[in-house]
Structure 1
Amino acid sequence: MEDYREQVKDIMEKIISDNPQLNKVTDKVEARLEQCGWSDEIRMECNRLIRQRGIENISDTTELVRDLTPFARSKVPTELKKELVAMLKDALQKELEGTKLNPK
């Protein structure tokens, strides 16, 4: 079972790093997030957090990102999340075709 998981992990890493289709997916997601106002909402929330804490009290962006992430995730439209999952499943299925890991 562990060998299977490692193989799937290797395939997923290959899909992520070598797949030009994934770049298209990324571009599409970024464009859709911009269209729906997500980027503006995140900028406003980031500015709010900075004002709340005081710019002089923020020395590392890691904490700011950690605190902003749940808000950002909650603002991604459900339809876009579903579409992204479908695109990733499709890319994985195409990559698995012809391998012994193909679930079909």
Structure 2
Amino acid sequence: MRHSVNRPPTPDSKDDRQRDLTLQETINIKLIESGEKERLMELLRERLIDCGWKDEMRTLCRAFIKKKGRNDVTVDDLIHVITPKGRATIPDSLKAELLQRIRTFLVATAM
């Protein structure tokens, strides 16, 4: 079988994924490689504990378990019910602080 000389070879789909990283993926890789992601996660944990968010989520989980019955609740049920409430109650000041730290990191790494 002869191959057309005028047609470029079909690119490997695996190679395409490696070359075409989105900006979000690139930032995530840089955060992980530098160790900054872990530092940001630790800061987030500390701030959520300090503002009482973690205790509030624990209380919501316990109330849901009490309402449904201990034997009738799965982790997936808890995640499904609690996640939207948890995301909505993260303080805006904490979101702004994390965003500012990410921006500072990006400027420092000249992205």
Query: Normalized against structure 2, the TM-score is what?
Result: 0.71
* Structure 1 residue 5 displacement after superposition: 6.6
Structure 1 residue 91: Cα displacement? 2.5
Q: Which runs of 4+ in 1 moved over 2 A?
A: 4-7, 89-95
Match of residue 94, structure 2, among 60, 76, 80: 80
Which of 1 and 2 has higher RCO (CA within 8 Å, sep 6+)? 1
Q: CA deviation at 1:15?
A: 2.5
AA aligned to 2:62 is N
Q: Choose 1 or 2 for highest CA Rg.
A: 2
2:32–2:38 contact (8 Å) kept in structure 1: no
List per-residue Cα deviations over 1:40-69 (Å, max 9, x = no partner): 0000001011111111112x3122112101
Q: Which residue of 2 aligns with 1:53?
A: 68
Aligned to 1:29: 44
Scaled by the length of structure 1, the TM-score of the pair is 0.75
Q: Which runs of 5+ in 1 are unaligned?
A: none
Structure 2 residues without counterparts, runs of 5 or longer: 1-18
Identity across the alignment (%): 23
Aligned length: 93
